[in-house]
Amino acid sequence: MATEGLAVSEAPLAYRVKPFARTADLGPRPPDLPVIRDAAAGVAALLDAISAAGGTGDARGASDGGGGLAVLTGAGMSTESGIPDYRGPSGALRRNHSPMTYQQFTGDPAARRRYWARGHAGWRHIVDARPNAGHTAVAALEEAGLLAGLVTQNVDGLHQAGGARSVIELHGSLARVLCSDCGDVSPRAELEARLAAANPDFRPEAVDAGVSGAEEPDPTDGTDGGTDGGTDGGDGLPAIAAEGVEAPAAPGAALTPAGRVNPDGDVALAEAEIARFVMVGCRHCGVGRLEPDVVFFGATVPRDRVTAAMDVVERSRLLLVLGSSLTVMSGYRFVLRAGQLGIPVAIVNQGPTRADTRAALLVDAPLGDILPPLAAELAVSA
């Protein structure tokens, strides 16, 4: 696990910006792999690792005086804000949903209608989500000058809402909408207002029983018939960074708030609601195809974002991975680069990750129990 003895090469890593692809389950961790599960012990071990790496000092050769910690966050960062992750204890992929690809979105008008109808139903959950203690703790680390940089695979904007000023959004943001024809960029909130006006009778609470395992809500039973999140069979929003949501509810069961929206902001929706959903065109050219400013499976992460994120890792003294299973190369490549440079990697994640055997330290505990005390201790030392 540890990086001792690894040959350190300063040569640039040759990497390709490849499309996302579906990945196999990680499986259990090797039984002999050291994992810290106690939060207090995890905080203490992280403090020791950061201190040993010089992570509270200036960045590795940086000229801007930045801190030494490179932070990479995944969907697990937002679970305590009510947005489920992919492969964690309540992960979306546990429902056997498969993601919509960019090829499906661009090549099939029905898929685009399904995307925007389900996304319109789920948008209110993304808007209502609030940054959790982990987000504010990471922002405190940045404020204390301890970060070489912050890279997130999330598209929910909660790092910025939690106070972080400089965030590399590797997979884009749900808050922006692009026109593929004229190139106009517009706020998602503006599109949502236009969609609401075009669909005054839209019922976001109408659950797709075939997907969610729930029944259509009975308007007389007094329940809200909540919806179930997931990226399903070409039906849902793109799975941005395959991380690990709750097991399917029993038929007729009321779904929990965390089960109503998936990490990418959509919900399961009845086919009748999708079929009658009215689309709108670009605000600028009037007819252009609109798409979210996010990276779908089958699409590539823009090279400038990868380069900027790689620069953060290369200037750091320790790479701290928070809430990511690192299953896809989009995030895993940064662990590989850190290993090439002899930069230690510490991972805090609930459940196994692809990089477990490459990490110098593994902590399996809720981020809300780890990050606030960690940030408080590091802020004092800074």
Q: What is the pLDDT of residues 320-357, one digit of tens each?
A: 999 999 998 999 999 999 999 999 999 999 999 999 99
Beta strand extents in the chain (DSSP E only): 69-73, 147-152, 168-169, 172-179, 185-187, 290-294, 318-322, 345-348, 361-363
Q: What is the pLDDT of residues 89-114, one digit of tens each?
A: 544 444 455 678 899 999 999 999 99
Q: Is 285 annotated as a binding residue?
A: yes
Alpha helices in 64-108 (DSSP H): 102-107
Separation CA 274–CA 272 (nearest Å):
5
Q: What's the confidence (pLDDT) of residue 30? A: 83
Specify the pTM: 0.79
Lowest mean per-residue pLDDT among 61-70, 112-121, 124-133, 215-224: 215-224
Q: What is the torsional sign of CA 351, 367, 255, 104?
A: negative
Residue 73 tokens, joined? 């966050």
Q: What is the torsional sign of CA 371, 376, 381, 382?
A: positive
| DSSP 8-state symbol, 150 | E
What is the bridge-based pairing of β-strands 172-179 and 185-187?
antiparallel
Write down all domains in the chain, each with its CATH number in brackets: 39-381 (3.40.50.1220)
Q: Is 252 annotated as a binding residue?
A: no
Q: Mean pLDDT throughout 35-52?
A: 97
Q: Is 182 annotated as a binding residue?
A: yes
- Catalytically active residues are 171
Residue 320, strand partner residues = 71, 346
Q: How many CA atoms lie within 13 A of 264 on its CB side?
A: 33
Separation CA 146–CA 375 (nearest Å):
10
